[in-house]
Structure 1
Amino acid sequence: MTSWRLVRIIAGLFVLLSLALGVPGSPLYLSTWWLAFTAFVGLNLLQSGITKWCLMESILRRFGVRGGC
């Protein structure tokens, strides 16, 4: 699997997990502050789309994950 795909999978997991922990109706609810993490992931996705640079992709490449689409 490429770093490009893994970044999107990890971002999706982070969003779903933070929503599960931050939405009051969820059985896993801890605090609404988890929604700030959802916003952080969204901002990082926006930033990477604009600048074509993603910290998570850089980290994955250092661990030997193949780059590319």
Structure 2
Amino acid sequence: MSLDRAVFAFLGCVILASVALAHFVNPWWIALTIFAGLNALQAAFTGFCPAAMLFKRFGVRTGAAFR
């Protein structure tokens, strides 16, 4: 799995988890979805993604987007 796919898979898991938590636990969990969306938006423009840096440290091979 490339770094790009790992980041997108992690983003999808965070979004789905936060929606489920907002539905079943507390509506304030939707803030996690907002944070994930804002982080993805800024990563698209700046190329800086903390999740990509973390996955790179774990040895995930570099993809095209996050180098």
TM-score, normalised on structure 1?
Answer: 0.88
Higher relative contact order (CA 8 A, sep 6+): 2
1:58 alignment partner AA: M
Q: Which runs of 4+ in 1 moved over 3 A?
A: none
Q: 1:63 Cα deviation (Å)? A: 0.8
Percent sequence identity over aligned pairs: 41
Q: Give 1:11's aligned residue.
A: 11
Q: 1:52 Cα deviation (Å)? A: 1.2
Q: Secondary structure at the match of 1:68?
A: coil
Q: 1:68 Cα deviation (Å)? A: 1.1
Q: Counterparts of 2:57 and 2:20 in 1: how far apart (Å)?
A: 30
2:26 alignment partner AA: S
Point out where structure 2 has 5 or more consecutive residues left out of the alignment.
Answer: none
Q: Give 1:20's aligned residue.
A: 20
Q: Which has the higher helix share?
A: 2
Q: 2:48 aligned to 41, 48, 53, which one?
A: 53
Q: Counterparts of 1:48 and 1:19 in 2: how far apart (Å)?
A: 21
Q: 2:28 aligned to 19, 33, 53, which one?
A: 33
Instruction: Give me the CA root mean square deviation.
Output: 0.8
